[in-house]
Amino acid sequence: MQMRLADDRDEEAITVLINAAFRKAEGFLIDRDRVDRHLMQSLLQTGKFLVAEEDGALLGCAYIELRGERAYLGLLSVDPARQKAGMGSALMIAAEDYAAKAGCSYMDIQVVNLRQELPGFYHRLGYTDTGTAPLPSHVKPKTPCHFIKMSKPLAGGLNR
E strands of the chain, at which residues?
2-5, 48-54, 57-67, 70-78, 106-112, 128-133, 147-153
pLDDT tens-place string over residues 128-138: 999 999 988 88
Burial 41-69 (b: 16+ CB within 10 A, else e): eebbeebbbbbbbeeeebbbbbbbebeee
pLDDT tens-place string over residues 105-130: 999 999 999 998 889 999 999 999 99
Domain regions of the chain by residue span: 2-153
Q: What is the pTM of this model?
A: 0.91
Fold assignment, 2-153: Aminopeptidase (3.40.630)
